[in-house]
Chains A and B, each alone.
Chain A
Amino acid sequence: MGREINNAQYANLLLCPDCDLLIDKVTLSPNETAVCSRCQAKVLRHPKNSVNKVIAFALAGLLFYLPANFLPIMSFELLGFEATNTMLNGVSQLFNEGYYWMAFLVLMCSVLVPLFELGLLLTIALQMKFNKTNSLTTKLLLAYQHLSEWGMLEVYMLGILVAYIKMITMGSILVDMGLFCFVGMLVSALLTASCFDTQHAFDQLEANA
């Protein structure tokens, strides 16, 4: 219980995550970021209007999610044969070829983790908006914190681009509805993440408790 006192005692202190410098805690206005004076690491961030924006962008991202995953992204025609690519048939093709590890990796980074990220942020933001936060919120925040590094939609976007350019000279390649939904999902996911800060959310949880 003695550690509770310590908690209050150090509440006005920040530690730089990158260089371990002790910094006095500052109060930030929305949209401000505090930066370490020695190594320029971001030590504190206050996202603007975060909760409402997170809900809006996460909902938009989830709306795009199903069509982005199931609709064809590109189709390729060669000598009268045609084949289409969706995010999920790429995974199942790798699986059928016996490359389970690769199928798992692509499935995680481009399909599952982005879905979890959007779902987690939406749940957390809704809980915070309606003051329904509980011990589950902490667990969700931790899950998001650990997962977020493995969501790689922006890298997948580059993969689509490279594949498209590579195939241009080989046959006729067409972009499909899925690509537009994918871009919509990507932009929504990036905006959601930019409006959210895990540490700020933890601070708010504590302030509300």
Chain B
Amino acid sequence: MNPLENFRMAFESLWGNKLRSFLALLGIVIGVFAVTAMISLGQMATAGITQDLEAIAGRSIFVQPNFNEGQDFSTAPIREEDILALQTLPAAVIPQLFTSAQYEARPGTRRSIQLQGTPGDLPRLDPTNKLAKGRYFSEAEARGGLAVAVLSDRAARDLFPGREAVGQVARLFYPNGARLELTVVGVLQPPGGLFGGLGAAATVYVPNELIWNTSPTARKGQYDFVVLSLKKGADARQVTRQAQRIFESRYGKGKYQIASTESFQDTLRSITLILQALLGAIAGLSLLVGGIGIMNIMLVSVTERTREIGLRKALGATSSQIRQQFLIEAVVLTLVGGLLGVVLAAGLLLVITATVPFFKVFILNPATVLLALAVSALVGLFFGVWPAARAAALDPIEALRYE
């Protein structure tokens, strides 16, 4: 008797018991559905996070004084000579200043806003900054410390609600009351993706030189923060190590925090991995429960079909042919369940990609499908062994006598 014959026979017998077969394989359907959906969702999440991170931060390295050491900001600044040293690396070096300022939302009410010093022509240095309107102040304007500003999308809406910001004058105040009047030359695009909501800070970008000249706390030639925007083909890990070496040789270990966006991605990836492992465990549990369900239904089936088994033996079936028949029936049952589970998972993934903006691409690897089906077949094989052995061991006479 060939295996194909066995499969046909298994299908016939399962089809004859549609409702019960379906109920029996519900556990398998859920288990395989969970496995498939979780693996693919994990892959889709990783893809989404990676894309979003690259959109807002590109491939960058961030250098800033390490606050964990309990030091004062001003005791560990980044100096002009550090910037010169960093410029030997394959990256655009963008030294920046951070300070806070206030603006008059209504007469008498002042609100905080972030003031950020940058070099001129930032979008060219770091392409993740995209202009929505106007222009970015030039390198010459930046060097001259002119009172010009580019606003983040949020800052434009806060400072000039319902009005065109470009061309306006923004009035800001330092905490000590000193006034700053800035001509707005451009507005940036809001960041997209998952980080669109989180990263939508109200920020006013001005030349570093201007902050040095006007802020009561900033000191000329000292920066708070440096972004290294990696050139194409540069290796993030290697450049990170080189930057670390520059700062360690000058100031010792642990004074500066130097991390790349890729290390953030690594963190996100490991979180995703833990999540997947957890969900995989849940899926495994439901497969175990599903498998026991299959075993149960197969044992019931063997008992119910005692006479059939006896008859088949009387007609010349060997014990191993009977065993094969019931094993294949269990495998067909779980494979059908696995197939249903994969189809359900694919449906869910399609709905998610269509409705949740974060999940941009539908990912269902053939390897995942193959794994899901292999797992369901193995579950059938494993949990079918005992019922099949019981069927094979039946004494034909006892079986024929069985009422």
Do A and B truly interact?
Answer: no
Interface of A with B (CB < 8 Å)? Answer: none
